[in-house]
Every structure is written in structure tokens, then in C-alpha cells.
Amino acid sequence: DQQVKQNSPSLSVQEGRISILNCDYTNSMFDYFLWYKKYPAEGPTFLISISSIKDKNEDGRFTVFLNKSAKHLSLHIVPSQPGDSAVYFCAASGVRGTYKYIFGTGTRLKVLA
Amino acid sequence: GAGVSQSPSNKVTEKGKDVELRCDPISGHTALYWYRQSLGQGLEFLIYFQGNSAPDKSGLPSDRFSAERTGGSVSTLTIQRTQQEDSAVYLCASSLGDRLGQFFGPGTRLTVL
């Protein structure tokens, strides 16, 4: 049972445009969400997080939106740059103190120059 | 070094042999996690350690898998009697604590022939 789903395995976007990466979850107990970026042959790198008490968190070109009623979050990258080309994972955690994160299967973003 | 390191970076072994994978977390990070990523899959949680607490082993797929963390720092993941389905990238991560971003190592690519 995949509790965190990234239904788009890949996405191509033109440089300068907005990239929108989506993530859905099924467990209503999840209350903390993170996005990671992964380049080939490297470990994932933490990008941005959001707590369920918020519906938006912004950090530079990256914004994460959370829609709790729809159990959906999205990562917006604007403007997209070729260096953003990577695999993006969303992850979710529930019940503070559990330390356990459930990851999605990832979306491969390709930003075209 | 400043980041999480893992060794070896690549390991090729024959079915039935035992392997040991090593993780050196960031100094001072109390939480340490092991994940694996099979081809085309997301990150699968295996085990985490937090300080002196008993580790959460709920993600270990079978009793052939075990892990220990010595002195609250270095961790070793051991896979006994390896099978071909164990082939994956094994990722280690560490963090300062709950709800803080995890820092991942580059991973160990395990291939079981």
C-alpha cells in the first residue's frame, strides 16, 4: 500500500517556466511533509518542508503548497533552471517523534534550455 | 568530512554471501536512518536509530537484514545470505532530530549476482 504517491514519473519544462510537481497521500495522520532533490549517483538533498498547520511555505524559487482536505501537496519551482533537472521525492511523517518518513517514488524533472 | 559518508560506493557479491555496508553520519546527529531504493522505486525505509533508544526495525524486509550503531555514531547494515532481490542502492541519512531535514549519504550500490 503506497501511502505517498507521485503519479507522474517524469516532467519536462522549458527553462524560465514554472515546474509543478505533485504528491498525494492517503494517511490523514501525516502532518509533516518534505521535498528532496536527487541527482544521479548522489543521495537526496533536503529542499523544503511544510507542517500541516500551514498551507504554504516559500524558500526562494521553491514553494510548497499543502491542501489537507485533498491530501495533496505540490512543489512549485519558478523560474525553472537547467540545474533543477533531477529526481524529486516527497516524503511524509505523522505523529511527532516517530522519526519515520514515507517517501514517494519520485518524479524526474527535466528542464530544457 | 562535513557530510554523511558511506562505504563501499559499489559492492558486487554472489548470491548467498554476506555483505556489510557502512555509514558515517554527520558528527553530532543523533538520528540515523537506512533506506534502500530499488530500480524504479521510491525510498524504502529500513531502520532508524535515535540516541540510546531502541532502534525502529519495522522496515527490515527479513531476518537476513540487521543493523547496529556503535557509540551513537557509525552504523553498519549487514545482509546475510544475499539474494538477487537485495540488489538496490542502500542510502544512509542522519539528522539532528525529529522534524528536521535528513542529510543523505551518496549510497552504496549493491549488486547480487
- The pLDDT tens digits of the residues spanning B63-72 come to 999 999 988 7
Mean pLDDT estimate for chain B: 91
Cβ neighbors of A13 (< 8 A, separation 6 or more) are A19, A80, A109, A110, A111, A112
Question: Three cell numbers at B20?
Answer: 556489510
CA distance to partner chain B, nearest, from residue A43 (Å)? 4
Assess whether pLDDT exceeds 60 at residue B1: no
Say how far apart CA B64 and CA A47 lie, in whole Å: 34
- Please count the residue pairs, one from chain A and one from chain B, whose beta carbons lie less than 8 angstroms apart: 62
Determine contact: A87 vs chain B, CB below 8 A: no
CA neighbours within 13 Å on the CB side: how many for B98? 13
CA neighbours within 13 Å on the CB side: how many for A1? 4
A100 and B93: CB-CB below 8 Å?
no
- The residue of chain B nearest to residue A106, with distances taken between CA atoms, is B42
pLDDT of A109: 97
Residue by residue, pLDDT tens for chain A (113 residues) are: 678 999 999 999 999 999 999 999 998 889 899 999 999 888 999 999 999 999 999 999 999 999 999 999 999 999 999 999 999 999 998 766 666 788 999 999 999 99
Among A87, A91, A110, smallest CA distance to A14 is for A110
pLDDT in tens, B40-60: 788 898 998 988 888 889 889
pLDDT of B53: 84
Who wins on pLDDT, A29 or B19?
A: B19
Mean pLDDT estimate for chain A: 92
Residue A52 identity:
S
Residue B51 identity:
G
Say how far apart CA B73 and CA B27 lie, in whole Å: 7
CA distance to partner chain B, nearest, from residue A22 (Å)? 15
Instruction: Report the SS3 class of residue A105.
Output: coil
pLDDT of B101: 78
The share of chain B scoring above pLDDT 70, in percent, equals 97
